[in-house]
């Protein structure tokens, strides 16, 4: 990486792009590229190498992530499903007890008034 004389590595931006892989071979595998920019100019590029001790199959979630990360097509719910994350059920809103309370009080009031009318009617 070559910078101007007064340039600082702290000002270098690293833009990584991962390569969608389904299978990793034993040995060195290029899994992406890293492109370094200083003041908007590319000052270096390198492959991202993953050295595997054995052949590996990449899971669906990793493939989905590398193919869709940072794109409009990325769907967090789909990624979570591929990872085996079960979404939590939203909590049911608390039930409003006001209609039940109003109904019980109204029924009690009607019952009391009815009893008063019945008792007053029997006293005559």
**Average pLDDT value over all residues in the chain:** 79
Q: What is the mean pLDDT of residues 5-22?
A: 79
Helix (H), strand (E) at residue 102? helix 98-123
- Give Cα 42 distance to the centre of its chain: 33
Q: What is the pLDDT of residues 112-122, one digit of tens each?
A: 888 888 887 77
Q: What is the mean pLDDT of residues 52-72?
A: 73
d(CA 57, CA 80): 19
Tokens linked to 58: 């990449």
Given a cut of 80, is residue 24 above it in pLDDT? no
d(CA 93, CA 109): 30
CATH code matching the domain that covers 1-87, chosen among 2.30.30, 1.25.40, 3.40.50, 2.60.410: 2.60.410
- Residue boundaries of the structural domains of the chain: 1-87, 95-124
CA quadruple 101, 102, 106, 107: dihedral sign: negative
d(CA 100, CA 109): 14
Number of neighbours of residue 80 by Cβ within 10 angstroms = 13
Tokens linked to 42: 């590319």
d(CA 58, CA 65): 11
Tokens linked to 20: 């969608």
Name every residue whose Cβ is closer than 8 Å to that of residue 60 and which is 6 or more positions away in sequence.
82
Q: What is the mean pLDDT of residues 25-40?
A: 85
């Amino acid at each position: 990486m070559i910078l101007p004389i007064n340039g600082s590595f702290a000002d270098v931006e690293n833009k990584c792009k991962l390569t969608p892989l389904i299978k990793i071979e034993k040995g060195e595998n290029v899994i992406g590229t890293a492109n370094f920019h200083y003041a908007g100019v590319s000052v270096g590029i390198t492959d991202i190498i993953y050295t595997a001790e054995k052949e590996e199959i990449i899971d669906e979630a990793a493939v989905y992530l590398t193919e869709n990360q940072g794109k409009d097509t990325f769907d967090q719910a789909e990624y979570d499903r591929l990872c085996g994350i079960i979404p939590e059920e939203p909590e049911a809103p608390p039930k409003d007890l006001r209609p039940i309370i109003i109904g019980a009080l109204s029924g009690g009031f009607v019952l009391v008034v009815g009893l008063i009318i019945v008792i007053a009617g029997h006293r005559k």
